[in-house]
């Protein structure tokens, strides 16, 4: 007869902390017995238990510890970051798979990288969740007591939204680019499919050769990794903020300045390019090829011009990128002042 009651008590107490389990069970049993006559029928027991409510609900009332992974304060940022990270992850894997597929001219290689997609997404999701769960437990300081001093800056009010697709594609291509430079630098090659004859002659049977001198390239790799990590951090900050603020624009500007200087140093490094490269340009066949096009061509002047052109592009794009963020902030600020 009392079986039902014991099952109910067990259902209430099984998830309670050990130190209150036995006590709650005893008390609950005494209370239930009090509500019953000495020889209760099953129908009476059912009625009393139903009056107490579902075991889960009662257990929740006894145990008031916070029992959730991510609470209401962090829930929205959590979802935002989760979506963001999953989008970046999916894009990186897709673009990576495409490049790998093309580089190996094989669908199997594409498929192999793509097969990591589901696992990769779960990994990324798990890490984001773990980080937010830790913030939930230990991040009390995140909610600022002096919020009055931390209201959003004025330039945010009419600020231009930071484009998600631009930012994500910037992160994706940074990750892909740095992976390619780091792992498969040989992918940066020039192919001579069209002119197999003379390429074959110069390069001893190879119709493609790397652009870069791999040893020199490798020496720049730590720097590039540093820049890539900084850029990704900056982009994620932008996405989380969502709009251009002066802080972001200034950080972005500083990044562009350093990146431009670095790029200029990089591109001007002697021996950066594969020595074979010069061999091709210097070759009799190549000169003939160019003279055939009726260009006034000498190797040094051509390379020099090319280098200056690239340097000009680097400087222009750096200045433009650094300035555009600041200009957006100023525009929004003016609107508010009006």
Partner 1 sequence: MEELLNSLSTELKRGTFILSVLSQLGEPEYGYSLVQKLEEKGMPIESGTLYPLLRRLEKQGLLTSEWDTTESRPRKFYILSSDGIQVYEKLKAEWQSLSAQLQKLMEG
Site residues (vs partner 1, CB under 8 A): 20, 24, 26-28, 30-31, 33-35, 51-53, 57-58, 61-62, 64
Query: Considering the complex, what minimum distance in angstroms separates the CB of residue 11 from partner 1?
Result: 13
**Nearest of 178, 188, 208 to residue 196 by alpha carbon:** 208
Minimum Å distance from CB 55 to partner 1? 10
Which CB, 31 or 291, lies closer to partner 1? 31
Min separation Cβ 223 and partner 1, Å: 59
Considering the complex, state which of residue 6 and residue 200 has its C-beta at the smaller distance from partner 1.
Answer: 6
State the Cα–Cα distance between residues 159 and 248, nearest whole angstrom: 12
Q: Which residues contact 142 (CB under 8 A, 6 or more apart)?
A: 74, 135
Structural tokens at position 153: 């800056």
Could you give the count of Cα atoms lying within 13 Å of 218 in the half-sphere of its Cβ?
6
Supply 302's token pair: 């051509």
Name the residue nearer to partner 1 (CB basis): 32 or 159.
32
In the complex with partner 1, which residue's Cβ is closer, 30 or 130? Answer: 30
**3 state SS of 189:** strand
**What is the C-alpha to C-alpha distance for residues 162 and 235, in angstroms, rounded to an integer?**
10
Cβ 220 vs Cβ 266: under 8 Å: yes
Q: What is the smallest separation between the CB atom of 32 and partner 1, expressed in angstroms?
A: 9
Residues in the chain: 338
- At residue 208, the 3 state secondary structure works out as strand
Smallest separation, CB 69 to partner 1 (Å): 23
Min CB(14)–partner 1 separation in Å? 16
Please say which residue, 52 or 299, places its beta carbon nearer to partner 1. Answer: 52
Nearer to partner 1, 24 or 84 (CB): 24
Taking residue 268's Cβ as centre, other Cβ atoms within 10 Å add up to 11
Q: Between 20 and 229, whose beta carbon lies closer to partner 1?
A: 20
Q: Residue 11 phi/psi, 5° resolution? A: -65, -35
- Smallest distance from partner 1 to CB 66, Å: 15
């Amino acid at each position: 007869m009392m079986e039902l009651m014991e099952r109910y008590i067990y259902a209430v107490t099984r998830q309670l902390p050990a130190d209150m389990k036995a006590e709650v069970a005893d008390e609950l049993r005494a209370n239930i017995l009090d509500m019953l006559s000495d020889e209760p029928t099953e129908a009476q027991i059912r009625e009393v238990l139903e009056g107490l409510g579902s075991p889960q609900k009662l257990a929740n009332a006894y145990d008031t510890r916070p029992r959730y992974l991510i609470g209401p304060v962090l829930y929205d940022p959590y979802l935002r970051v989760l979506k963001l990270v999953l989008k970046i992850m999916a894009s990186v894997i897709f673009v990576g798979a495409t490049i790998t597929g093309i580089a190996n001219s094989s669908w199997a290689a594409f498929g192999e990288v793509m097969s990591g997609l589901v696992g990769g997404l779960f990994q990324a999701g798990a890490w984001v969740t773990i980080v937010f769960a830790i913030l939930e437990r230990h991040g009390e300081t995140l909610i600022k007591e002096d919020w009055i001093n931390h209201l959003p800056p004025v330039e945010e009010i009419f600020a231009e939204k930071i484009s998600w697709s631009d930012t994500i594609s910037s992160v994706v291509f940074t990750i892909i680019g740095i992976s390619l430079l780091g792992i498969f630098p040989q992918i940066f090659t020039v192919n001579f499919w069209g002119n197999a004859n003379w390429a074959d002659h110069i390069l001893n049977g190879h119709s493609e050769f790397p652009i870069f001198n791999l040893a020199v390239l490798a020496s720049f790799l730590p720097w590039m990794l540093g820049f890539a990590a900084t850029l990704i951090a900056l982009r994620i900050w932008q996405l989380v903020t969502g709009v251009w603020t002066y802080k972001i624009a200034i950080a972005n500007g500083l990044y562009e300045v350093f990146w431009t200087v670095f790029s200029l140093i990089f591109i001007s490094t002697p021996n950066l390019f594969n020595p074979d490269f010069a061999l091709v340009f210097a070759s009799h066949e190549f000169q003939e090829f160019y003279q055939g096009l009726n260009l006034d061509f000498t190797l040094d002047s051509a390379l020099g011009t090319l280098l200056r052109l690239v340097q000009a592009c680097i400087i222009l794009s750096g200045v433009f990128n650094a300035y555009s963020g600041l200009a957006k902030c100023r525009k929004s600020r003016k609107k508010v002042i009006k």
